[in-house]
Structure 1
Amino acid sequence: MAVGKQYDYLVVGAGLFGAVCAYRAKQSGRKVLVIDKRPQLGGNIYCENIAGINVQQYGAHIFHTNNRQVWDFVNSFVEFNNYRHSVLAKADGKIFNLPFNLNTFYALWGVTTPREAAQKIAEQKTPLATEPQNLEEQALALVGRDIYEILIKGYTEKQWGRRCPDLPAFIIKRLPVRFTFDNSYFDDRYQGIPLGGYNKLIEKLLSGVETRTSCDFFAERRQWEAWAEKIVYTGEIDRYFNYEFGKLEYRSIRWETEVLACPNYQGAAVVNYVDGQIPYTRIIEHKHFEFGAQAQTVISREYPAEWQEGAEPFYPINDAKNTALYGKYAELAQKEENVIFGGRLAEYKYYDMDEVIEKALKSFEAENIP
């Protein structure tokens, strides 16, 4: 550690990327400080116990991976249950299974065989003479009119706050279609939820690490930079560089959480509401992630929202304009010798949890920390 420095590493953000980096640094004997602007640790996987139920405060997070190294890593801290994600979609009062599979096609058309389903989709697909120019054209070319109109259009327009013809085609480069009666949302070999919730994983990763919450890096930036030899930064990359090239765009989300005096509200952890006139995109019933048997239940209605200054940024808008803008910030980041940029906001990229952990571990391999 250089003279005058109090820490080897300052980790800005106590989500998964920051927590894994802090763990690896401490494990190697480095002195680490983790700060987070929120009043709690855990980033978007933070859970609050309500009525004896672990409520995921920032939306549904299901751990899934094919990476054995990552699976073994998280299981060295906490035990996972055998939860397998299965999503339902509610449209015009009817229930459909997601992703699209033979159960979905039976509910739509009454078909019962892979051949019948494939033929029905082929009949409905819209042939294109050129590359699809927008999301609507892409969806119609991939799965046809019925699936698009009933299960894609309303949900997508709510999610992004824009009409499908105004959204870029690349948002749905592919749509998973299964010609089996398999309702599993993920194909990954390893899946589950930590026993006792995600807070248990974060607590173990940060055990023995100095942490400070409700602490804004930018409010006292010069002090933090002076205290640490190196910084792990997981916040918005454009803000780190004082919006030198302009601001990146995001979609935000808000939740309305309610405790209900019944043991089971919807019979599944997640039900998507795909009708355009319903303002929320889905309802999460948290107890089902851990097979809860409590007398009450807790649900969260999820409402997409336009991101504005001061709101939480959740989904990067990776269109051509924002991708080009991020590229400029990425070039600046590469020149920062003493800063590791990582995670969804610092890399302006949607990550699954296993990908975040893998990236954090590789970042510290590059640091030559054993």
Structure 2
Amino acid sequence: MRVFLIAGEPSGDRLGGALMAGLRTLLDDGLHFEGVGGPQMAAHGLHSLFPMEELSVMGLAEILPKYFELKRRIAQTAEAVIAAKPDVLITIDSPDFCLRVARLVKARSDIRTVHYVAPTVWAWRPGRARKMARVIDQALALFPFEPPYMQAAGMECDFVGHPVVAETVPSQADAAAFRAQYGLGDAPLMLVLPGSRRGEVGRLAAPFGDALRLFMADRPEWRIVVPAAAPVVDLVQEAARNWPGAPILIDPREMRAEDAAQAKRGAFAAAEIALAASGTVSLELAAARTPMVIAYRFNTLTWHIIKRMMRVDTATLVNLVSDTRVVPERFGPECRGDLIDQALRAVIADPEAQEAAMALTMDRLGLGGEAPGLRAARAVLDGLAQ
């Protein structure tokens, strides 16, 4: 069986790696992988057509300067798919790139197409589902409320669970080991997670720093822990130099992968609260039962466009999955130090307020069930068999 996969950023690479592992579990041999991916997919036998990092672009305004290079990569990737004649093309997230490739492939072949991660049509741009149905045969959804939107547009769609439920849940033993390793004693800890893309770290460094200075002005005993993503460690390190609380930077480049993961789990378990960029990290925090405040600052043009198109009143995944609004958000113009500080103080005053929503979120995402990568693999094979 020949499978062509495309992932455009680290989260997609993780999904792709788990899906490839699931396919190897269900099919003992005869699997051949091609496509575009990162280290997780490479570990399962993928030789990337070009570096995946070229596709890690977020935001409408951010894409424009790279438009012509992305267009060239789209054409190159589509040609590679058609030449490979795979049994299935699996595109993973990154819809601005992946769906354009799928469109070119469908125009010249009958190759079955699967898109992993249903687009957030429930949040904005609902017409995307109908457009997607023209080039995608089957969608794989991370959230249980998504399949009806895709099916209504004319696609097969399977809820396969979110990968966060397959990760090791941080424990109190992890927390104790982390505190001991960094000599933290009983000091209260705040996690600061300013994102994994250079643009978002650049936009969030200043308001996050302002919020920390206000929060810690009357809390000098608090310590700051910053688990940095490898692609942005240098930017985060530079920003943290101006933050109070003698920030502890967890630099994954200086550790073995398993040690970096262990340190991150320990930090999540040990923290009293987290200040984080918007994204999947809110689900990681929910898995660790770490109360949180979510903030995000967009490019000005991107913000004005998104604000006009939003169909929901929250963008935080814990709020959406649990159908609550208990996690405070500070987005766009509200992503300011004083307003973030107010939210942090409110959460510290009542840290239990988010507990039920975090537990419900994990339950609805499939905690305790079959691994999402295996479920995704089975859904792909079932679709091919129909």
TM-score scaled to structure 2, two decimals? 0.27
Task: Report which of the two structures shows the higher radius of gyration computed on alpha carbons.
Answer: 1
Greater RCO between the two (CA within 8 Å, min separation 6)? 1
TM-score scaled to structure 1, two decimals? 0.28
**Structure richer in helix, relative to its length:** 2
